[in-house]
Amino acid sequence: MGTKAFGQAVRRWRERVSPEAAGLSPGGQRRVAGLRREELAQLAGISVDYVIRLEQGRATNPSAQVVEALARALRLSAAERRHLFQVGGLQPPGPESVPTYLTPSVQRLLDRLAGTPVAVFDATWTLLLANPPYAALMGDPAGWHGHERNAVWRNFSGLNGRVRHTPESRNALETALVADLRATTARYPADQRLQRLVADLLTHSERFAELWGAAVAGHHEAARKTIDHPQVGPLTLDCDVLAVAGSDLRIMLYTAEPGSADAERLALVTVLGTQSLVG
């Protein structure tokens, strides 16, 4: 019964959400009033087949990560999100867990930044959401799973991607990430996902273990970053991290000085990358 109720809830809410409300193009004539299954799958980062099996009640025991991703994609309120966890047979995350919930109002804000590379991270620096311009600029994260979606893990595992670093900027970034993660463990000492991340980092990276043991202090600040893009070449952009009051989420944005050569290259990246993601 729970599996059937979960599928019914997902389908009901999918049919309620318009493409425009989800930040998508309507795409001409549509047979359904709300989101298509493939659109929900794209937004949630899961396969279309899995969406179908969930809605038909043939997929059992969805993970907390899948339920959270569906709740974000469906723009659910806090009460609706809680209900989706419950009918999925899961306990809704409590205050002892690192928050991962994006309110519909924050989602609408992100939709208004459709031309700007934007990503949302939780307090562990795990990627929750990346818009198409961000994916075009930094690489498509759709295929990243588990620790691969965590910025701390990526940086200490050599998966740091396209950002160019000097030894000084690399050291500053690593110090800030470790200090930030340590502060997060103090706020959420009972979060098991966070505990596993730290334990795996300590085992996997000598550099992380060194900084963790030294109890380094630091924090993220606005910075100028040079990104080596495989198609357009280097772009030097402003990177800002905004905090969402009351949610412990971080919104990362990349922008360029209007009229500059970097702004032109960023616009080209967005066009080329978005076309490849959609195509």
Question: Domain-by-domain residue ranges, the chain?
Answer: 2-87, 104-278
CA separation (Å) from 44 to 24, 51, 55, 142? Answer: 13, 10, 14, 10
DSSP-assigned states of every residue in 33-62: SS--HHHHHHHHTS-HHHHHHHHTT-----
Position 73 pLDDT exceeds 50: yes
Q: Are strands 233-244 and 223-229 parallel, antiparallel or unpaired?
A: antiparallel
User: What is the DSSP code (8-state) at residue 150?
Assistant: B
Among 78, 68, 75, smallest CA distance to 19 is for: 75
**Does the domain spanning 2-87 belong to CATH 3.20.20.140?**
no
**Distance, CA of 147 to CA of 141 (rounded, Å):** 12
Q: What pairs with residue 127 in β-bridges?
A: 121
Structure confidence by residue, pLDDT tens digits, 202-225 = 999 999 999 999 988 777 777 899
Fold of 104-278: Beta-Lactamase (3.30.450)
Structure confidence by residue, pLDDT tens digits, 118-164 = 999 999 999 998 988 999 999 989 888 889 999 999 999 988 689 99
In whole numbers, what is the pLDDT of the chain averaged over residues? Answer: 89
Among the residue ranges 41-45, 236-240, 263-267, the one predicted with the least confidence is 41-45
Can you tell me whether residue 128 is helix, strand or coil?
strand
User: What is the DSSP code (8-state) at residue 91?
Assistant: P
In this prediction the pTM is 0.86
Structure confidence by residue, pLDDT tens digits, 172-190 = 999 999 999 999 999 999 9
Give the confidence band of 28 by pLDDT, cuts at 50, 70, 90. low
Structure confidence by residue, pLDDT tens digits, 4-21 = 899 999 999 999 988 887
Q: Span 28-54, mean pLDDT?
A: 86
- Count, residues in the chain: 279
What pLDDT is attached to residue 1? 45
Yes or no: say if 236 and 226 are a contact pair by the CB < 8 Å rule.
Answer: yes
What pLDDT is attached to residue 2? 57
Q: Span 59-74, mean pLDDT?
A: 91
